[in-house]
């Protein structure tokens, strides 16, 4: 009976605590890749017996379950925020589901992308790749790429929510016959960005299908190339 008591108390606490009226969550980063640490931030009006959110994975569903402490006398309900880490996910589409005692409070579809070191822009016509150095290492490191739109994206070095170099390629052919490249750096680490035009159909020595842009150490690079391709 003593061993069952905590279980009974937890069950009683769960029964006494009414299901949440409203709660929601956000997933960060919003464009996760398979190697990223994913977190879910849950916001709602919670029973005082709620001590956190427990994340578990079942096939393609990530369950975010409201967890209750095993006490029968609960503090007053109040607005609270919980942040919980989600176990690592392989690439694919998942349903994230916030649950309170088998009631689904909120649901979102989240796509876990394959890690990328190249940005495909312009419908795949342009491919961009960025290498950087943080110290005196002999070989540069390939930055991870996150596409935002068909024209824009960014590279990160240390974390997906810490963009270091933002890139966009715009179609300026209607203005001056060229595609335009814009690069903006938020890092003073040296980097080399290569943008390649895979769809020019150009061949021969006068073609320049690649453009290389560099960020000097100790400086924030801002590059506008209106003659890129």
Window of 46-54, 69-77, 137-145, 149-157 that interacts with another protein by CB under 8 A: 149-157
Phi, psi of 181 (to 5 degrees): -115, 130
> Which of 59, 56, 50, 3 is CA-nearest to residue 23?
50
Can you tell me which of 5, 78, 111, 173 binds another protein, judged by CB under 8 A?
A: 111
Instruction: Draw the binding track, 169-198, toward another protein (x: CB under 8 A; -: no contact).
Output: -x-----------xxxxx------------
Rule CB under 8 A: say whether 90 interacts with another protein.
yes
- What's the min distance (Å) between Cβ of 224 and another protein? 6
Window of 45-53, 66-74, 197-205, 219-227 that interacts with another protein by CB under 8 A: 219-227
User: Given its phi and psi angles, is residue 203 left (phi above 0), alpha (psi -120 to 50 degrees) or beta?
Assistant: beta
Rule CB under 8 A: say whether 104 interacts with another protein.
no
Rule CB under 8 A: say whether 26 interacts with another protein.
yes
Q: What are the Cα distances from residue 189, in Å, to 128, 182, 184, 194, 221?
A: 18, 18, 13, 16, 10
Q: Residue 5 is inside which H or E element, if any?
A: helix 5-16
- What's the min distance (Å) between Cβ of 152 and another protein? 4
- In eight-state DSSP terms, residue 69 is -
Of 14 and 23, the one with the shorter C-beta distance to another protein is 23
Rule CB under 8 A: say whether 83 interacts with another protein.
yes
Question: DSSP characters for 161-224?
Answer: TSEEEEEEEEEEHHHHSEEEEEEEE---S-EEEEEEESS----STT---EEEEEE-TTS--EEE
Summarize as ranges the residues that interact with another protein (CB under 8 A). Answer: 26, 28-31, 39, 41, 59-60, 81, 83, 90-93, 95, 107-109, 111, 113-114, 146-152, 154, 160-163, 165-166, 168, 170, 182-186, 220, 222, 224
């Amino acid at each position: 009976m003593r061993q069952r008591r905590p279980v009974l108390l937890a069950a009683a606490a769960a029964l006494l605590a009414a299901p949440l009226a409203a709660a929601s969550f956000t997933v960060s980063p919003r464009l996760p890749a398979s190697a990223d640490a994913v977190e879910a931030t849950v916001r709602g009006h919670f029973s005082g017996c709620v001590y956190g959110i427990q994340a578990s994975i079942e096939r393609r569903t990530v369950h975010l379950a409201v967890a209750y402490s095993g006490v029968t006398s609960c503090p007053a309900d109040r607005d609270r925020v919980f942040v919980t880490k989600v176990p690592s996910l392989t690439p694919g589409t998942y349903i994230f589901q916030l649950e309170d005692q088998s009631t689904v409070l909120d649901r979102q579809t989240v796509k876990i992308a394959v890690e990328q070191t190249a940005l495909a822009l312009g419908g795949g016509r342009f491919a961009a790749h960025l290498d950087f150095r943080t110290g005196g290492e002999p070989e540069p490191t390939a930055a991870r790429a996150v596409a935002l739109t068909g024209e824009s994206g960014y590279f990160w070095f240390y974390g997906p929510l810490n963009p270091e170099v933002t890139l966009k390629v715009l179609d300026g052919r209607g203005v001056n016959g060229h595609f335009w490249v814009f690069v903006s750096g938020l890092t003073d680490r040296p980097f080399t960005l290569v943008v390649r035009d895979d769809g020019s159909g150009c061949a021969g020595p006068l073609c320049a299908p690649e453009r290389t842009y560099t960020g000097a150490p100790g400086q924030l690079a801002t590059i506008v190339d209106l003659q890129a391709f």
